[in-house]
Structure 1
Amino acid sequence: MKNYETIIEEETLRETANWPQGQAFATLPSMMHITLNAILRAIFGAGGSELDELRRLIPPWVTLGSRLAALPKPKRDYGRLSPWGRLAEWRRQYDTVIDKLIEAERADPNFADRTDVLALMLRSTYDDGSIMSRKDIGDELLTLLAAGHETTAATLGWAFERLSRHPDVLAALVEEVDNGGHELRQAAILEVQRARTVIDFAARRVNPPVYQLGEWVIPRGYSIIIKRASAATVEELHSPRRMAVGW
């Protein structure tokens, strides 16, 4: 984890070195750059043209996939120009890049000593001694790449918004960092996630013939969707450890 901390620090310093001085600007694009570059380096350990391809491929893929997440996939195939067709095409491109990265990783003379996530996956085995298939590795890496950078970037962007409105909290955080502390920082992160929920809903599809939800009977095939932001405002549901400041 210490290695990954260094990567995040380096990417943050690289990105913030180009920030404009004395003028307002959108922070989300910078946060996306930091989180995507950091997770690519943590997973694959280095740079190269293949990582440039993933930088091009991942953001629009994740954006479209998040929009389609709550929708049922059509039974009819509408081809590569449909949203689901574009997702499938991006998956094929992704698999091609991952295959190249796996080959390069295994060919590295120092493969046994590498500490990046891909190397750890390639060296790992299941309880029965079998190794992970390329498809399994691709699926696991995709989860890390897709879920690991966009939501983190959005939360960081909202942290700027929250702290800019609460300079007293910002000053306290700076003082804590200077003194080597971390409790207030952790509380601030949790409070940002509560007050500015990044993924505002969770959905589950009903698979049994019927599902009883309170007084409602929901038939198979329907989806149940909850609004997390509404739940986040119910005071009695939250941990007393969260920040006392009313964000």
Structure 2
Amino acid sequence: MSTEEPVFAISNLDFYYGEKRALSNINMEIMPRKVTALIGPSGCGKSTYLRCLNRMNDTISGTHVEGEIRLHGENIYAPSTDVVELRQRVGMVFQTPNPFPQSIFDNVAFGPRVLGLSENKIALEETVEQSLRKAALWNDVKDDLKQGAMGLSLGQQQRLCIARVIAVQPEVILMDESTSALDPIATGHIEDLIAELKKEYTIIIVTHNMQQAARVSDSTGLFWLGELIEFAPTKELFTRPKEELTEAYITGRMG
């Protein structure tokens, strides 16, 4: 049995858009340096749940949370929480690559500059290089870091967005359908990258692609109509699901 403490402990989480309850009684523990996949049909609450973990839903008016999300034992919805610091620790990669219309270097350097993480130009250059290396993009771009990020392919743009997250030294990386806009080869690159990154980071992915969840994740949760139906080690969930609904979903009879 692992004696490691969870990175996130989520208990009795309900989430509301106004009066509408979008998540109902979610309980989950996210373990360190593992990949957790969230699967389920569109509109079932996966992305809403992911955005609860770094309070991205705060940007939508009329939303509120009940229950608790603890990051290393600290309630992230406590009034004392520094949301900027939370989003540094829990970074996010979105469905569509969203590089800034700046150079490759300035994209990766943006966070460290804003947060004051690099004390001088040499340290900043080192951070940019290391982040691009970790995102498996350095060899593609090292000869021209001044080129505009928008000139990269979609797959390279997504890896740049991952490098941008890595540059601010997060503990957790959230990935919301981060390969759905990419072709199969670019998707394969991102999946290989996830396997490499989990040596250092805790990763939570939302994916429509059950094969992808089976390939890259250690644990998988099935969401259905705002509820967490089943959460188990990935191999177990796909081969010996405990819930009828899980079996119906993964065999294609439902959803």
TM-score, shorter chain, exceeding 0.5: no
| Larger RCO (CA within 8 A; separation ≥ 6) | 2
Q: What is the TM-score of this pair, normalised by structure 1?
A: 0.31
| Structure of greater Rg | 1
Q: What is the TM-score of this pair, normalised by structure 2?
A: 0.30
Higher strand share: 2
